[in-house]
Amino acid sequence: MKTLTSKATTLALAGALAAAVSATTVQAQDWAKKAEKCYGVAKAGQNDCKAGPGTSCQGTSKVDGQENAWMFVPKGVCDKLAGGSLTEPKA
pLDDT digits (tens, 9 = 90+) for 17-46: 555 555 555 555 676 678 999 999 999 988
Contact between 65 and 45 under an 8 Å Cβ cutoff? The reply is: no
Contact between 71 and 42 under an 8 Å Cβ cutoff? The reply is: yes
Task: Give the pLDDT score at 57.
Answer: 75
3-state secondary structure of 47: coil
Task: Give the pLDDT score at 86.
Answer: 93
pLDDT in tens, 40-83: 999 998 888 766 665 667 888 888 998 888 899 999 999 999 99
3-state secondary structure of 69: strand
- Lay out the sheet containing 69-74: strands in order across: 35-39, 69-74, 49-51
Q: How confident is the model at residue 89 (pLDDT cuts 50, 70, 90)?
A: confident
3-state secondary structure of 33: helix
